[in-house]
């Protein structure tokens, strides 16, 4: 009998998986109210007061404002598909008033357009030595 495999964030502290639902972990300044991602960006405004940020979970949906299509394979240590397939990275505006960059999935890179609604999804990058899925966040059209 095989052990149950888990989905594990590829980079700790950037997002959480709760029952398969992915949420980016942002920060909110208690002094000026600025929202930012990632949470650990303590210097969001140099002239704002010192102190930590409150942790908030960012919205799962947003609007694609800009994108680029990569037609080259990333260098190590990034995991690349074999054979390489061009992929898109987008700038997504969230309701909290910030923009987040992320890879796009479930899209035809030749038919992409801006101002479409997208949602956050978890997608496997690779597996660890125990066979658990290491995942990251991506955006896909709604």
CA–CA distance, 142 with 57 (Å, rounded to integer) = 20
Asked if 122 contacts 116 with a C-beta cutoff of 8 angstroms, the reply is no
Look at phi and psi of residue 55 and say left if phi exceeds 0, alpha if psi is from -120 to 50, else beta.
Answer: beta
Confidence of residue 106 (pLDDT cuts 50, 70, 90): very high
Asked if 7 contacts 130 with a C-beta cutoff of 8 angstroms, the reply is no
Asked if 107 contacts 114 with a C-beta cutoff of 8 angstroms, the reply is no
In DSSP notation, 65-121 reads EEEEEE-SPPPTTS---SS---EEEEEEE-TTS-EEEEEE-S--GGG--SS-EEEEE
Looking at the predicted structure, is the pLDDT value of residue 4 above 90?
no
Convert the pLDDT of each residue in 37-87 to its tens digit. 988 755 667 677 666 788 999 999 999 999 999 998 877 666 667 788 899
Q: Give the global pTM.
A: 0.86
CA–CA distance, 138 with 92 (Å, rounded to integer) = 11
Query: Dihedral angle at the C-alpha atoms of 111, 114, 116, 120, nearest 10 degrees?
Result: 90
Q: Structure tokens of 22?
A: 């992915």
Q: Which residues have C-beta within 8 Å of that of residue 18, sequence separation ≥ 6? A: none
């Amino acid at each position: 009998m095989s052990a149950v495999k888990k989905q594990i964030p590829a980079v700790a502290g950037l997002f959480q998986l709760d029952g398969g639902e992915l949420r980016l972990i942002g920060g909110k300044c208690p002094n000026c109210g600025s929202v930012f991602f990632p949470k650990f960006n303590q210097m969001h405004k140099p002239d704002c007061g010192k102190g930590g940020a409150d942790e908030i979970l960012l919205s799962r949906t947003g609007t694609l404002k800009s994108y680029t299509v990569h037609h080259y394979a990333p260098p190590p240590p990034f995991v690349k598909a074999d054979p390489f397939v061009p992929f898109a990275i987008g700038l997504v505006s969230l309701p909290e008033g910030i923009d987040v960059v992320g890879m796009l999935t479930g899209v035809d890179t030749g038919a992409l357009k801006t101002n479409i609604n997208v949602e956050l999804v978890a997608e496997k990058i690779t597996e660890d030595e125990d066979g658990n899925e290491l995942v990251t966040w991506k955006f896909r059209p709604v």
